[in-house]
Amino acid sequence: MEKVFKKDDVFEVLIEDISSDGPGIGKIDGYTLFVKDAVIGDRCRVKIMKAKKNYAYAHLEEVLIPSSFRITPLCPKAKACGGCQLQALSYDAELKFKENKVKNNLIRIGGFSEEFIESIKEPIVGMDNPYRYRNKAQYPVGTDKNGKPTAGFYASRTHDIISNTDCILGKEKNKDILEAILSFMEKKGIPAYDEKNQSGIIRHILIREGFKTGEVMVCIVANADKLPYEEELGEMLFKMQGIKSVVLNTNKENTNVILGKKTKVIKGSETITDYLGDLSFKISAPSFYQINPLQTEKLYNKALEYADLHKEETVWDLYCGIGTISLFMAKKAKKVYGVEVVPEAIEDARENARRNGIENAEFFVGKAEEVLPSFYLNEDSDMRFPDVIAVDPPRKGCDEKCLETMLKMNPKRIVYVSCDSATLARDLKILCEEKYELKAWQCYDQFSRTVHVEVCCLLEQLESAKEHIEITIDAEDYYRIKDSEKETEE
Ligand code: SAH
């Protein structure tokens, strides 16, 4: 009779793998157990918490024989905090896990062979020190059981605050800043926000540092347009090392979104500056800016290498944010067009082009899947058939319409930067169906000690596709013919 697995059953199991979101995976008679906090190679005793037909979530009761990859987490709060998933795994094993995760997705979802994927892989780029790399920290603020204001991180899948003013992914100085604000709140009787009753004032504290400039921004998110004693708080913080900007963001909504729409300056400047390569960027509280600048620079240089620019090329940069990749490429290209859906980011991108004296980059607000086809359909545009298209979409990957138009635009090279290898693999399958070949891929560890990984890929037009275009000249005609062929076939 088939074995039935149920809640509270206890087993001894060897952890054989790591699931894509962190928990260890063990198997008993082909039945899968997901075990949080278990490390690949651990032999452990686990207890089933929730059993489904083919798998269960189990609690790690005891590590019986620890894995050779197991290390003691540097952060004492690692187990309770939902921020890092891989702190108990050695960093070498983490890098292998990440590369394998991407490889498996390219094989399973992308449909590439393992041999091929291995042959074009460039080794993962890890960090020398996989801690203290984040330039931005967002701490939720609450009240502890003694009634004192506290800050920290949410426990996995909840809004319970695990008090911790020294996250080891962020800078040491964040601790001084946070503790100064918490003790100011206590002294002046400024209450933390209470999500349940939607009462109280301070919701979050955001700290951002330009690593190259040392400029720090402190943004207090509050359920108020003005803080009690805000001038005094601003003066106090402004005396601390590096702080150039203290701002108040108002968020009175009952929402999980951290920032509200309105931000005002309490003391100093509205923005801070940072450099990526030799380009300077203006960063305001709501701007998207890569959180690991050291690795970002390496990633962008790889994207630039893959784009292979010699001042003659036309380039589209889709999902361009504040124009970081666009401006990196503009210095080596004839012309770059960036597309981004958030209007404020495009304003920043234009300002960033101006402040760096870059005149060959233009930016457009809108969805990539709408802006790109509108250019393609405009016969007068000289950006219909670019040499290179770079994409850096959010986790959900590229829209089908966007991929379709990219294929029609027929660039020589496509550079795909991705933060989710499953959607990357899905999109590569479409792009490589007939006209493109995956030439190289490389992982960048941008989010050390977490399960997330960034990938940079180069796609090149197939020789056969190049020939075809030379004969037909107009790619649109080519597609018209293809479409009519399809219709006759049907
Ligand atoms: N390339 C930038 C930003 C990458 S993050 C950088 O490296 O800094 C992905 C960006 O895509 C975000 O800025 C997001 O606002 C934007 N975005 C999301 N959906 C989009 C869409 N459909 N069309 C264009 N941009 C989109």
Q: Are strands 149-154 and 161-163 parallel, antiparallel or unpaired?
A: antiparallel
Nearest alpha carbon to residue 326 among 309, 343, 77: 309
Look at ligand 1, atom 1, and give the residue with the nearest C-alpha: 320
Alpha helices in 250-358, H assignment, sequence order: 293-307, 324-330, 343-355
Element (H, E) at 408: helix 400-409
The mean of the pLDDT values for the chain is 92
Look at ligand 1, atom 16, and give the residue with the nearest C-alpha: 319
pLDDT of residue 1: 56
What is the pLDDT confidence band of residue 79, given thresholds at 50, 70 and 90?
confident
Radius of gyration of the chain from Cα atoms?
Answer: 25
Answer yes or no: is pLDDT of 229 > 50: yes
What is the pLDDT confidence band of residue 475, given thresholds at 50, 70 and 90?
very low
- Structural contact between residues 455 and 417, judged by C-beta atoms closer than 8 angstroms: yes
Q: Which atom of ligand 1 is nearest to the CA of 300?
A: 7
Residue 381 CA, chain-centre distance (Å), reads 33
Nearest alpha carbon to residue 44 among 33, 55, 54, 53: 33
Q: Are strands 361-365 and 335-340 parallel, antiparallel or unpaired?
A: parallel
Look at ligand 1, atom 6, and give the residue with the nearest C-alpha: 321
The residues lining ligand 1, judged by C-beta closer than 6 Å to any ligand atom, are 288, 290, 319-321, 324-325, 339-342, 345, 367-369, 392-394
Question: Would you tell me how many other CB atoms lie within 10 Å of the CB of residue 400?
Answer: 12
Look at ligand 1, atom 13, and give the residue with the nearest C-alpha: 321
pTM attached to this predicted model: 0.89
Tell how far the Cα of 319 is from the centroid of ligand 1, in angstroms. 4
Tell me the average pLDDT across 422-427.
Answer: 98
- Structural contact between residues 298 and 324, judged by C-beta atoms closer than 8 angstroms: no
Answer yes or no: is pLDDT of 474 > 60: no
Tell how far the Cα of 338 is from the centroid of ligand 1, in angstroms. 10
Look at ligand 1, atom 10, and give the residue with the nearest C-alpha: 319
Taking the C-alpha atoms of residue 252 and residue 261, their distance in angstroms, rounded to an integer, is 10
Tell me the average pLDDT across 147-159.
Answer: 87
Residue 49 CA, chain-centre distance (Å), reads 31
What is the pLDDT confidence band of residue 160, given thresholds at 50, 70 and 90?
confident
Answer yes or no: is pLDDT of 37 > 80: yes
pLDDT tens, position by position, 133-148: 999 999 999 999 899 9
pLDDT of residue 477: 40
Taking the C-alpha atoms of residue 74 and residue 77, their distance in angstroms, rounded to an integer, is 9
pLDDT of residue 330: 98
Per 3-state DSSP, the chain is made up of helix, strand and coil in percentages (nearest 5) of 30, 30, 40
Nearest alpha carbon to residue 390 among 381, 398, 400: 398
Lowest mean pLDDT segment, chosen from 53-62, 106-115, 379-388:
379-388
> Nearest 5°: phi and psi at 177?
-65, -50
Answer yes or no: is pLDDT of 471 > 70: no
Q: Which atom of ligand 1 is nearest to the CA of 296?
A: 7
Q: Where are the beta strands (DSSP E) in 2-104?
A: 10-18, 24-28, 31-35, 43-51, 55-65
pLDDT of residue 88: 95
Mutation probe of ligand 1 site: the residue of 296, 341, 369 with most atoms within 8 A of C-beta? 341
Residue 110 CA, chain-centre distance (Å), reads 21
pLDDT of residue 303: 98
Tell how far the Cα of 139 is from the centroid of ligand 1, in angstroms. 24
Lowest mean pLDDT segment, chosen from 174-178, 191-195, 453-457, 477-481:
477-481
Q: Are strands 121-125 and 436-444 parallel, antiparallel or unpaired?
A: parallel
Mutation probe of ligand 1 site: the residue of 257, 284, 288 with most atoms within 8 A of C-beta? 288
Tell how far the Cα of 399 is from the centroid of ligand 1, in angstroms. 12
Question: Would you tell me how many other CB atoms lie within 10 Å of the CB of residue 268?
Answer: 19
pLDDT of residue 480: 42
pLDDT of residue 486: 43
Answer yes or no: is pLDDT of 91 > 90: yes
Joined tokens for residue 314: 């036309």
Look at ligand 1, atom 3, and give the residue with the nearest C-alpha: 321
Non-local CB neighbours of 122 within 8 Å, separated by 6+ positions: 440, 441, 442
Tell me the average pLDDT across 43-51.
Answer: 97
What is the pLDDT confidence band of residue 427, given thresholds at 50, 70 and 90?
very high
Q: What is the DSSP letter of 31?
A: E
Answer yes or no: is pLDDT of 478 > 90: no
Which has the higher per-residue pLDDT, 479 or 145?
A: 145
Mutation probe of ligand 1 site: the residue of 340, 392, 401, 452 with most atoms within 8 A of C-beta? 340
What is the pLDDT confidence band of residue 286, given thresholds at 50, 70 and 90?
confident
Tell how far the Cα of 417 is from the centroid of ligand 1, in angstroms. 11
- Structural contact between residues 167 and 75, judged by C-beta atoms closer than 8 angstroms: yes
pLDDT > 90 in the chain, percent: 85
CA angle in degrees (0–180, nearest 5) for 250-251-254: 165
Highest averaged pLDDT of the listed ranges 144-153, 326-335, 466-475: 326-335
Taking the C-alpha atoms of residue 326 and residue 339, their distance in angstroms, rounded to an integer, is 9
Tell how far the Cα of 355 is from the centroid of ligand 1, in angstroms. 22
What is the pLDDT confidence band of residue 81, given thresholds at 50, 70 and 90?
confident
Answer yes or no: is pLDDT of 174 > 60: yes
What is the pLDDT confidence band of residue 483, given thresholds at 50, 70 and 90?
very low
Tell how far the Cα of 474 is from the centroid of ligand 1, in angstroms. 30
pLDDT > 70 in the chain, percent: 94
Look at ligand 1, atom 11, and give the residue with the nearest C-alpha: 319
Q: Which atom of ligand 1 is nearest to the CA of 317?
A: 1
- Structural contact between residues 158 and 83, judged by C-beta atoms closer than 8 angstroms: no
Taking the C-alpha atoms of residue 293 and residue 291, their distance in angstroms, rounded to an integer, is 6
Residues tagged active-site:
419
CA end-to-end span of the chain, whole Å? 50
